């Protein structure tokens, strides 16, 4: 044997044995013995040895010192650059090559493909064909992989024509690559044609088709193909089980897993178990999930990455959030993905525990916009609106740019807080970030402006997207009109919506019937209730029934409201009874009020409003003894009356007032302002409505009590604290009383201010001595 061949063989063994030290020792001996000049074959093996061990400078040094080089020498160095991600160096070296063969071109295509430079890989193939160099099957498999990654359907079809031209159609790896490319590009028809024409198919061919059908939701075809297979791999089972899971067929996923366990030699891997845990999470099957967890522990499968995340998601969604918390404590919180974090967050939300979720959020290293949004949404959904606002501003200062979901969520928090100033700032940010015309953001803006008392701004936002024929946008605007007592506008918009062919849903009808309720449009409301059932086949929900009861009761048709309740196919809920009870007090029907209160307490025994509303109904009718009995009953049962309070936003701060509030630091100045306003509006013709005081005391004391109602204190503070002609926006947790309603009309005329008051059910806009509700509320 030629001595150089012996040393070349030893170098090849070092590569197989992954022994770098031994290879370097051999090189040292070869150099010392002066054998390199004796053979090109030995030098090429040395270059290949150093390339395999990624010792690039050594490989290049050997290459540069070679007295003779052949195409193999050049290809070895080229492959070293290309396959190790040194793609720029590969391009430079490729340009220097004196000649190129199919291996040279394919090395470049493989390198581009592995580096994610798919377009460059395609261009390299076109140059290769132009150069008259025939592609190999390895060339085609890599280039088709690039086309699949780009979802470049047209380019893939061109490559397919080259496959046919070079007679590679019957080559199984190439055919499988074609199947994969067409599947990724969504051309299932062409994939089926190729599959049907294959005379020989590998297990990979079948798996590719099953995966394609699964990803496109055609699980019946995926299952049928699976059943045809004579030989299956773990990939076959994984593709089908994952397909069932991803398409919402979780029971089928678990069923096929059970069947898989009966197959000889078929052992589930981490991909199988990840899909199965996801199915258990979706179904809330905690017991099965625990069994899989036990299997993972027995089989010693590493519970990291996707397996760990799937376990945490399963426990979080299935009521085992404590177990999820233990898993998080054992693993690195920073490794949690967004799906697991969101699931864990939902688990904590169900328990009302947001602090642990926030702690995990703070520990995570990579917090993308989805993660920030998930935490903000968690705060908003659980009523922690101020915390949501604080986190949003942290995101602005040190996090990613918010997307339309983030902005919609934080606008929802602004709506709940009725924080117009913050809402306007976020609107400006949405415009700057080009999310201002996003339908979800615009819908949230409509609601925010409406709940903050700016109905015209809400209308302006709606007009920007009114061309979008999406029911949610139109419904949001109809509800906004309803909240502001603009019944005719709501009805007109609803009619326009129908005229454009936009189909209303059950929420739309809640909005339009509510609009009729607050404007006294009884016949219109009845017509819509009938239309909903007969024309659109929408079955009424408790919300629709409550709206109808409120429609009749507010208009004084208490008998019709009572008859409607008796004819309902479902039991009235707390909102329905509460609507009737409130109307009984307004229309002074104490006997029906007792029936309504009993009905309300039967479905909501702890409702303090039932007692106080009934007592107030008795008081309004002058039945003081019966009212006193109700108050005594409340004391004996330990039922606390809901206290009325009002609040106003002044200079980014919320000021809250209760009746006879003595806690505000400017109490004396506020009470002086109240007394001054009280005297001035009385001079202007205001007559205190002492009947609004539902206590058996003398009129002088009643008048003093009326003057200190929480909304009057809030307005007085607003007048003291804002420039002239500024709009005052006051929020109240209960229904505004008759006296305050009348007083606000006089105050608006006296001060030249617009005063917007949001009570428990709607908005009142007081301007120049008139209210937008036209005294119907």
Could you tell me if 580 and 553 are in contact, meaning their C-beta atoms sit under 8 angstroms apart?
Answer: yes
User: 576-590, pLDDT tens digit by residue?
Assistant: 888 888 888 788 888
* Integer Cα distance of 511 and 543 in angstroms: 10
C-alpha separations of 716 from 149, 667, 672, 693, 711 in Å? 66, 11, 9, 21, 9
133 phi, psi to nearest 5 deg: -100, 120
DSSP 650: E
The angle formed by the CA atoms of residues 80, 83 and 84, to the nearest 5 degrees, is 75
**CA atoms in the 13 A half-sphere facing the CB of 79:** 20
Could you tell me if 548 and 510 are in contact, meaning their C-beta atoms sit under 8 angstroms apart?
Answer: no
Q: What is the pLDDT of residue 18?
A: 79
Q: Is the model more confident about 562 or about 698?
A: 562
Q: Which residues of 265-301 are buried (b: 16+ CB within 10 A; e: fewer)?
A: eeebebbbbbbbbbbbbbbebbebbbebbeebeeeee
Question: Domains, the chain, ranges and CATH?
Answer: 1-52 (no CATH), 401-637 (1.25.40.10), 646-771 (no CATH)
**Chain centre distance of CA 662:** 44
- Assign 318 to helix, strand or coil: coil
Written in H, E and C, the secondary structure of 450-504 is HHCCCHHHHHHHHHHHCCCCCHHHHHHHHHHHHHCCCHHHHHHHHHHHHHCCCCC
Does the pLDDT value for residue 382 go beyond 80? yes
User: 113-133, pLDDT tens digit by residue?
Assistant: 888 888 888 888 888 888 888
* 306-311: average pLDDT: 85
Could you tell me if 378 and 345 are in contact, meaning their C-beta atoms sit under 8 angstroms apart?
Answer: yes
Query: What number of other Cβ atoms are within 10 A of residue 365's Cβ?
Result: 9
Read off the pTM.
0.68
List the strands of the sheet with 755-758, edge to edge.
653-658, 645-650, 728-732, 755-758, 763-767, 770-771
Q: Is the model more confident about 24 or about 180?
A: 180
Could you tell me if 451 and 418 are in contact, meaning their C-beta atoms sit under 8 angstroms apart?
Answer: yes
User: 51-90, pLDDT tens digit by residue?
Assistant: 777 787 877 787 877 777 888 888 888 888 888 878 888 8
């Amino acid at each position: 044997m030629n001595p150089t061949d012996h040393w070349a063989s030893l170098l090849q063994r070092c590569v197989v044995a992954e022994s770098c030290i031994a290879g370097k020792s051999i090189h040292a001996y070869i150099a010392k013995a002066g054998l390199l000049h004796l053979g090109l074959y030995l030098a090429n093996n040395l270059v290949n040895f150093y390339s395999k061990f990624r010792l690039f400078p050594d490989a290049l040094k050997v290459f540069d010192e070679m007295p003779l080089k052949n195409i193999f020498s050049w290809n070895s160095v080229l492959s070293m650059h290309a396959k190790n991600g040194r793609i720029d160096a590969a391009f430079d070296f490729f340009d220097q090559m004196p000649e190129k063969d199919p291996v040279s071109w394919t090395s470049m295509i493989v390198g581009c493909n592995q580096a994610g430079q798919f377009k460059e890989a395609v261009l390299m193939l076109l140059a290769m064909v132009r150069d008259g160099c025939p592609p190999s099957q390895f060339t085609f498999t890599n280039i088709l992989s690039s086309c699949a990654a780009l979802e470049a359907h047209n380019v893939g079809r061109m490559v397919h024509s080259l496959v046919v031209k070079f007679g590679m159609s019957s080559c199984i790896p190439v055919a499988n690559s074609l199947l994969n490319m067409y599947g990724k590009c969504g051309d299932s028809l062409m994939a089926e044609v190729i599959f049907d024409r294959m005379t020989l198919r590998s297990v990979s061919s079948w798996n590719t088709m099953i995966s394609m059908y699964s990803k496109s939701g055609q699980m019946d075809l995926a299952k049928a193909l699976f059943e045809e297979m004579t030989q299956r791999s773990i990939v076959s089972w994984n593709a089908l089980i994952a397909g069932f899971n991803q398409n919402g067929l979780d029971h089928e996923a678990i069923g096929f897993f059970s069947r898989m366990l009966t197959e000889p030699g078929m052992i589930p891997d981490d991909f199988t178990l990840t899909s199965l845990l996801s199915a258990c999470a979706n179904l809330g099957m905690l017991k099965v999930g625990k069994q899989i967890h036990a299997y993972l522990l027995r089989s010693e499968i590493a519970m990291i990455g996707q397996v760990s995340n799937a376990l945490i998601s399963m426990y979080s969604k299935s009521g085992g959030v404590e177990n999820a918390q233990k898993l998080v404590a054992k693993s690195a919180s920073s490794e949690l993905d967004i799906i697991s974090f969101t699931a864990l967050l939902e688990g904590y939300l169900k328990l009302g525990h947001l602090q642990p979720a926030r702690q995990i959020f703070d520990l995570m290293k990579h917090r993308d916009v989805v993660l920030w949004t998930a935490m903000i949404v968690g705060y908003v959904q659980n009523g922690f609106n101020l915390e949501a606002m604080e986190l949003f501003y942290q995101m602005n200062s040190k996090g990613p740019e918010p997307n339309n979901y983030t902005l919609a969520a934080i606008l929802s928090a602004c709506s709940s807080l009725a924080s117009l100033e913050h809402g306007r700032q976020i609107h400006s940010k949405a415009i700057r970030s080009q999310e201002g015309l996003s339908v979800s953001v615009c819908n949230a803006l409509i609601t925010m402006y409406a709940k903050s008392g700016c109905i015209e701004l809400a209308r302006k936002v709606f007009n920007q997207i009114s061309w979008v024929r999406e029911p949610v946008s139109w419904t949001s605007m109809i509800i906004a009109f309803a909240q502001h007592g603009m019944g005719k506008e709501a009805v007109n918009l609803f009619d326009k919506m129908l005229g454009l062919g936009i189909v209303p849903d059950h929420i739309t009808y809640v909005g339009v019937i509510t609009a009729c309720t607050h404007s006294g449009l009884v016949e219109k409301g009845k017509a819509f209730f009938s239309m909903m059932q007969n024309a659109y086949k929408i079955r009424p929900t408790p919300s629709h029934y409550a709206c109808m009861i409120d429609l009749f009761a507010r208009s004084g048709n208490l008998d019709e409201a009572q008859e409607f309740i008796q004819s309902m196919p479902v039991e009235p809920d707390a909102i329905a009874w509460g609507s009737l009870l409130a109307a009984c007090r307004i229309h002074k029907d104490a006997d029906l009020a007792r029936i309504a209160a009993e009905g309300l307490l039967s479905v909501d025994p702890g409702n303090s409003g039932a007692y106080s509303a009934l007592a107030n109904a008795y008081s309004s009718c002058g039945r003081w003894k019966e009212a006193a009995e109700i108050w005594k009953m409340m004391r004996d049962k330990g039922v606390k009356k809901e206290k009325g309070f009002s609040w106003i936003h002044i200079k980014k701060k919320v000021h809250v007032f209760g009746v006879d509030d003595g806690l505000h630091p400017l109490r004396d100045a506020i009470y002086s302002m109240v007394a001054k306003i009280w005297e001035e509006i009385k001079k202007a013709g205001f007559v205190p409505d002492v009947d609004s005081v539902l206590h058996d005391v003398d009129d002088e004391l009643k008048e003093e009590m009326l003057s200190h109602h929480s909304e009057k204190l809030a307005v007085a503070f607003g007048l003291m604290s804002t420039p002239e002609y500024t709009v005052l926006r006051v929020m109240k947790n209960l229904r505004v009383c008759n006296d305050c309603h009348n007083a606000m009309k006089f105050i608006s005329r006296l001060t030249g201010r617009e005063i917007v008051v949001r009570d428990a059910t709607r908005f009142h806009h007081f301007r120049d001595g008139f209210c937008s509700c036209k005294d119907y509320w």
